[in-house]
Amino acid sequence: MLTMIVRRTLLVVPNIFLLTLMLFASVTVILGSPAAMMLGEEASPAAIDELNARYGFDRPVLVQYADWMWRAVQGDFGRSYTTQQPVAEALLARVPVTLQLALASIAVAVFVAATVNSIPMGRRSIGALSSALSILGITVPNFMLGISFIFLFSVQLRWLPSTGWTPVSEGLIAHLRHLVMPVATLTAFYIGSFSLVYRAEYRDVMRRLFIKVARAKGLSVTRVSFGHALPNSILPVITYAGVSTGQLAGGAVVTETVFSIPGVGRLFVESISARDFPIMLAVGMLIIVAVMITNLIADLLYTVVNPQVRLD
């Protein structure tokens, strides 16, 4: 087990370097001169050259990347061009908010998708309802669903606050009330996608011999479904959830914008509007690292959920 963890971790490192190099090149080269974008179309060539020299944009891309990466692995992502605040401080203030939103959404989505689609009683009617809700959750855009929730639960029923964020330190009830609608908005999509993945695997598992043996031993349908079929059907969902958690940890841009949540996604939108390259690069690197780490964790969870699975 330890050897597998070390090997998988070592494979993650070169992938991070390759992807961050592509990220850095896309921001500093493909998108155009950072100095020109920061100063605007009316900037003079002399002003652009002066800003390039000040921030080192005139150096070769690999030299810029090596310098940025060396400082990044030490926790120094530079300073924001707009606020002059250290980028690391800005991220540390935003990451816990987005991380909580992402983990809560993924946990609820996995639980609901696996539980609802494992219920044996009336599976035909439940399956039809689950399929309809899955398609609805996947097809309805996040911003439309979020606005609909705000209109229904905030404007009409006045049950929940429409926007904003309250830390747990300022009250658990107030914190949960601000968390309900954003989590529901993100969960709708992932419940749908997780359900489709889970049902496909569940049908295949229910045809296998060990399920027939369990039924022949006299085990109830519910026990077979939840005790035997579910652990073997949920493995693809765990992989999908790992990737999704990493993506959400990098920033649920639309949801955080709709609900005015001070997370990483909203910070990313603000940095694009302000052409704040250090923050754009830091958030991009955060997304890459989060996806890689959550993929690794998902692989390791395979052996926890189903001990018969052994990764090579």
Structure confidence by residue, pLDDT tens digits, 38-66? 776 677 778 777 877 877 777 888 888 89
Per-residue pLDDT tens digits for 169-226: 888 888 888 888 988 888 888 888 888 888 888 888 888 888 888 888 888 888 888 8
**CA-CA distances (angstroms) from residue 94 to 71, 193, 263?**
20, 27, 5
Overall domain count for the chain? 2
Determine the straight-line distance between the first and last CA of the chain, rounded to whole angstroms: 10
Q: Give the pLDDT confidence score for residue 54 in this predicted structure.
A: 77
Residue 288 lies in a domain: yes
Residue 303 has pLDDT above 70, yes or no: no
Q: Give the pLDDT confidence score for residue 141 in this predicted structure.
A: 78
DSSP class of residue 140 equals S
Same domain, yes or no, for 117 and 257?
yes
CA–CA separation, 284 vs 275, rounded Å? 14
CA–CA separation, 190 vs 167, rounded Å? 25
Quote helix, strand, coil % in the chain, to nearest 5. Answer: 75, 0, 20
CA–CA separation, 109 vs 103, rounded Å? 10
- In this structure, which amino acid lies at residue 170? E
pTM for this one?
0.75
| Rounded average pLDDT over 135-151 | 81
**Cβ(188)–Cβ(137) under 8 Å?**
yes
Res. 252 pLDDT band, cuts 50 70 90: confident
Q: Tell me which residue range forms the domain holding 146.
A: 87-305
In the listed set 27, 43, 72, which residue is the last one of a domain according to the structure?
72
Same domain, yes or no, for 132 and 270?
yes
CA–CA separation, 67 vs 84, rounded Å? 19
Residue 81 lies in a domain: no
**Cβ(290)–Cβ(250) under 8 Å?**
yes
- Crossing angle (nearest 10°) for helices 235-250 and 172-206: 150
CATH number at residue 207: 1.10.3720.10
Same domain, yes or no, for 114 and 249?
yes
- What is the percent of the chain with per-residue pLDDT over 90, rounded to a whole number? 0
Same domain, yes or no, for 9 and 111?
no
Residue 24 has pLDDT above 80, yes or no: yes
Residue 290 has pLDDT above 60, yes or no: yes
Task: Tell me what the pLDDT averaged over the chain comes to.
Answer: 80
**Higher pLDDT among residues 191 and 128, named by residue:** 191
DSSP class of residue 259 equals T
Strand partners for 79: 86
Per-residue pLDDT tens digits for 84-114: 889 888 888 888 888 888 888 888 988 988 8
Nearest to 288 by CA among 69, 142, 80: 69
Same domain, yes or no, for 145 and 241?
yes
**Higher pLDDT among residues 267 and 307, named by residue:** 267
In the listed set 72, 106, 127, which residue is the last one of a domain according to the structure?
72
Residue 147 lies in a domain: yes
Residue 78 lies in a domain: no
CA–CA separation, 312 vs 306, rounded Å? 15
* Alpha helix (H) residue ranges in 117-208: 123-139, 142-149, 172-206
Q: Give the pLDDT confidence score for residue 236 in this predicted structure.
A: 83
Residue 106 lies in a domain: yes
Instruction: Compute the Cα dihedral for 291, 297, 300, 304 and give only its sign.
Output: negative
